[in-house]
Structure 1
Amino acid sequence: MAVIRHTEQEVLLLARLMRAEAEGEGKEGMLMVGNVCVNRVLCDCLDFKKLRSITDMVYQSPGGFEAVQKSYFYQRARDQDIELARRVIAGQRFWPANFCLWFFEPSGSCPPTWYNQKLAGRFKAHCFYQPSPQDCPKVF
């Protein structure tokens, strides 16, 4: 059962975004980016109050994803990427991104906070940041 509403076109959109943002991090990294994406649709808090769909989340501006500005994002979704997108839409969560709304790739170590959000952990090159349960209860 899905944790967020979606269309088949949005599954493909999410699959393309996950690949474009984290293909170099492997399947696990792509799944973690997918967690952040799903959490943004679920949360209705902070910078993500007006997101009601995967499409809203992918194209959010400001505050969205850099990948949508790159040609790689616009390539067809592959079957393996689609399967990963379906997994996160179904509610599978992966530490450290399980409750996160943000991630980025620093040039060095992960700062303990980023935009006033607490570091949840690092996976390969990406640092993941989560809100507090008080700020965003729907994520938890």
Structure 2
Amino acid sequence: MAVVKSTSKQLDLLARLMRAEAEGDGQLGMLLVGNVGVNRVLADCLDFRNIRNLEEMVFQRPGGFVATTESYFYQRAREQDRNLARRVINGERFSPGERSLWFFNPGGDCPPQWYNQWNTGRFKTHCFYSPTVADCPSV
């Protein structure tokens, strides 16, 4: 059962975002990006108080995803990417992205904090950051 509601269009948006942000990190990297996206929809805290669906999450400004400004993001979603997006929409969680609301590629070591959020781990090129339970109990 889905943890966030989605339309076919929103599923494609999430699939395209996951591919554009992390295809180079393989399927698990893409799933981790998907975890962050779903977490942002579920969160009712911090920068995500007004995000209520996948489309709002993908195109959030400010604070959205850099990939949405690149032409690669606008290519058609592939079925394999849709399948990965379905997995995170249906609630699958992967470490270190289970509670993460942010990730980035630092081009080196992961800083211990990013925008006052603590590093929860790294997967290949991306560092993941999660809020404290006090800051964001809904994630």
TM over 0.5: yes
For residue 20 of structure 2, what is the aligned residue in structure 1? 20
For the aligned residue pairs, the C-alpha RMSD in angstroms reads 0.5
SS in 2 for 1:137: coil
* 1:128 Cα offset (Å): 0.1
SS in 1 for 2:62: coil
For residue 108 of structure 2, what is the aligned residue in structure 1? 108
* 1:5 Cα offset (Å): 1.2
Number of residue pairs the alignment of both structures matches: 139
Percentage identity across paired residues of the two chains = 64
* 1:138 Cα offset (Å): 0.9
For residue 121 of structure 2, what is the aligned residue in structure 1? 121
* 1:76 Cα offset (Å): 0.4
Amino acid across the alignment from 1:14: L
Deviation digits for residues 57-100 of structure 1 (CA, Å, limit 9, x no counterpart): 00000000000100000000001000000000000000001100
Gapped regions of structure 2 (runs ≥ 5): none
For residue 132 of structure 1, what is the aligned residue in structure 2? 132
| Aligned-partner Cα distance in 1 for 2:2–2:138 | 15
For residue 62 of structure 1, what is the aligned residue in structure 2? 62
Structure 1 runs of 4+ aligned residues shifted over 3 Å read none
| Aligned-partner Cα distance in 2 for 1:121–1:26 | 17
2:89 maps to 1:89 = yes
SS in 1 for 2:118: strand
2:12 maps to 1:29 = no
| Aligned-partner Cα distance in 2 for 1:136–1:83 | 29
